[in-house]
Amino acid sequence: MQQEPTTRRRVIAAAAGVAAAVGATAPSASAASATAPPAGSPAGHPGAAGSSPHGSSSAIRARAAALLRRMSLEEKIGQLFVVEIYGQTAETEHARNRELYGVSTPAQVIEKYRPGGVIYFDARRGPDNVREPRQIARLSNGLQRAAVRGGARVPLLVSIDQEGGSVVYRMLEPTTQLPGNMALAATRATRDAYDSADIIADELAAVGINQNYAPVADVNINPENPVIGVRSFGSDTDLCVEFVSTAVRGYHHGGVASAAKHFPGHGDTDVDSHTGLPEITHTREELDRIDLPPFRAAIRHGVDTIMTAHIVVPSLDPSRVPATMSQPIVTGLLREELGFDGLIATDALDMGGATADFPPDVAPVRALQAGCDQLVLAPQLDTAFGAVLAAVRSGKVSEERLDASVRRVMEHKLRRRLFPLPYVSERRAARTVGSRGHRARAREITERSITLLRNESGALPLAGSSSTVLVTGWGTAPLADLARAIGSRRGQRTTTLETGTAPSSATITQATEAARTHDVTVVLANAAAAGKEGGAAQAKLIESLVATGKRVIVAGVRLPYDIRRFPDIPAYLATYSYTAPSMTALARVLYGETRPHGKLPVTIPRLDSPDRPLYPFGHGLHY
């Protein structure tokens, strides 16, 4: 489809304006016609050269300074904010945009606030930005056009949380589904972690997403952690150091900026910072030994961004303010002591850990004063924007402090080669996302992550002879995916019975009676889904199934710790994920078509004696 002449002229003019601002040569009309986006399907792959800057560091600093001089105070403040927008195109009218921002379309949100960045979400949160590759690329291009056609003409950072696995992800099929961090660490193959990050980044870059809030650098030493868990590479600091460093390099090679999170370390808590304010009681010595090394390693390997955590760390700041709002933690520790000079992003400011004591007119100002550069998802944006503007005008936040953050944002955008044309090709997006090569590599990685913890009396692998298999336990979609994978084998007939997160006595009885009429029962366990109940009812279900005397196999499809509640189960595997690829890999391991290779990246403690290990770090059986 050809672009309308008016839109084409706007793009050329915007490119010329941005090029002039950064000291580059503006494209001629003929050059722009070759590079500017025709109706949302432009050529180009920003950041395709990985993390290599476009020009020398001194040149980038000079260009950023030139941009800064052209910006009004309001435009500078806009660059601090990362906002969400509702809709699948830049021109989609949506009631939530009107409710949040007083305008109808995503493009109008960009034109009103001139934010430094946007963050995409899928329909589960509501914005519904990410459906399929061409649509996402078209949305990204439309937002970038809105950003560069007015004001200071600065392209956007387009961000997302695409960590891999089945906990924090935004893009579904046809996007390649990669294992999460704990699954990757279970392979013990850093090449798998590198390739996983590279594939994720390649697909994000293809659709115009240039900043991924990943990898998680937290060391998950607390089995009761409700917010990190499998998002971490594990409970061993050295393992996390190795895999965080590798992931950072993989994201860069694939063409997106990386972000290590959640500083200074969110791994030892039993409170979810989305709903409350956790406290980390580690001493400074423990922080240096356990929590900080992965962040130090990420900095050494050129991580672009570090995201702060809404956690209280008294050993670092006795005032007990959340790390995001703490000048001793953000500036004192991260900026000055660790020497990090990249972007510092807040975790979402609409989370409970931030909003409990810091209302919308306070949180962004306090985060900026602490040393943060990106204010992510600040609630009540008009209020937040006005509060920062008033703080600068009153001297509560100095212009030097504001300029330092905006300069870092500009330098980052220049390094990521977003100037002068930050557009992507819709055709390339469709060709890249979910490509045959990406999917094949993902299958290999996923299969290597499956970890066999227990296998008594030769319960596994299952024989290939004809049998009836009951697939039961948690999760309608995972059960269906596993049943489909098992049922595709010759002679295997499956029955599916979903029992929920906390099965009732009646449901347990129903599943037990069904097990008596099947040769094999495979149970999917996910205690984390049960919340405070902790999976006790799922454990009762498994105990009842084992009592039938039939062969019972359990797979922990999120946290590997679930076996603590039923330690005598004949066979137990950990998949760390319940995506369709993970269930397909599980079926292949169950039938011995591929051997279990995984090794525990965490220690699993006993339920009745948490100081004693049930299964040690590194445990993993084979056949």
How many C-beta atoms lie closer than 10 Å to residue 121's C-beta? 18
The residues, any chain, with a CB within 8 Å of residue 32's CB and separated by 6 or more, are: 8, 11, 12, 15
The number of folded domains in the chain is 2
Residues 546, 419 share a domain: no
Is 282 an annotated catalytic residue? no
Task: Indicate the residue among 390, 406, 436 that finishes a domain.
Answer: 436
Residues 191, 219 share a domain: yes
Inter-residue contact 242 to 190 (CB < 8 Å):
yes
Residues 458, 374 share a domain: no
**What 3-state DSSP class applies to 515?**
helix
**What 3-state DSSP class applies to 621?**
strand
Is the pLDDT score of 438 beyond 50? yes
Inter-residue contact 290 to 280 (CB < 8 Å):
no
Helix (H) or strand (E) run with residue 261 in it: strand 259-263
Place of tokens 């919340």: 531
70 found inside a domain: no
User: What is the C-alpha separation between 46 and 424, in angstroms, rounded?
Assistant: 7
Q: What is the pLDDT of residue 226?
A: 87
Point out the catalytic residue in the list 122, 272, 274, 403. 274
Task: Indicate the residue among 380, 411, 436 that finishes a domain.
Answer: 436
What are the tens digits of pLDDT across the range 124-141?
999 999 999 999 999 999
57 found inside a domain: no
What are the tens digits of pLDDT across the range 345-361?
999 999 987 877 899 99
Look at 39-53, 170-184, 388-402 and tell me which has the smallest mean pLDDT. Answer: 39-53
Secondary structure E strands in 273-394: 305-308, 343-345, 375-376
352 found inside a domain: yes
Q: What range defines the domain where residue 246 resides?
A: 75-436
Task: Indicate the residue among 382, 413, 436 that finishes a domain.
Answer: 436
- Paired tokens of 321: 């303010």
pLDDT band for 466, please (50, 70, 90 cuts). confident
**CA nearest neighbour of 215 among 334, 610, 234:** 234
CATH of the domain at 543: 3.40.50.1700
Residues 569, 532 share a domain: yes
Q: In angstroms, what CA-CA distances link 241 with 22, 577, 604, 619? A: 37, 22, 20, 20
Is 268 an annotated catalytic residue? no
Residues 350, 221 share a domain: yes
Residues paired with residue 571 on neighbouring β-strands, in sequence order: 455, 553
Residues 545, 512 share a domain: yes
Look at 1-10, 249-258, 421-430, 608-617 and tell me which has the smallest mean pLDDT. Answer: 1-10
230 found inside a domain: yes
**What 3-state DSSP class applies to 422?**
coil
Mean pLDDT value across residues 522-547: 96
pLDDT band for 544, please (50, 70, 90 cuts). very high
Helix (H) or strand (E) run with residue 553 in it: strand 551-556
- Binning the chain into helix, strand and coil, the percentages to the nearest 5 are 45, 10, 45
Please state the φ and ψ torsions of residue 454, each to the nearest 5 degrees: -145, 135
Helix (H) or strand (E) run with residue 204 in it: helix 190-206
Residues 458, 419 share a domain: no
Q: What is the pLDDT of residue 273?
A: 73
**CA nearest neighbour of 87 among 101, 106, 112:** 106
Is the pLDDT score of 522 beyond 90? yes
CATH of the domain at 334: 3.20.20.300
Q: What is the DSSP letter of 132?
A: S
Residues 489, 410 share a domain: no
The residues, any chain, with a CB within 8 Å of residue 84's CB and separated by 6 or more, are: 118, 119, 120, 121, 125, 127, 377
Inter-residue contact 455 to 571 (CB < 8 Å):
yes
Q: SS3 string of 437-477?
A: HHHHHHHHHHHHHCEEEEEHHHCCCCCCCCEEEEEEECCHH
Point out the catalytic residue in the list 347, 373, 481, 562. 347
Is the pLDDT score of 7 beyond 70? no
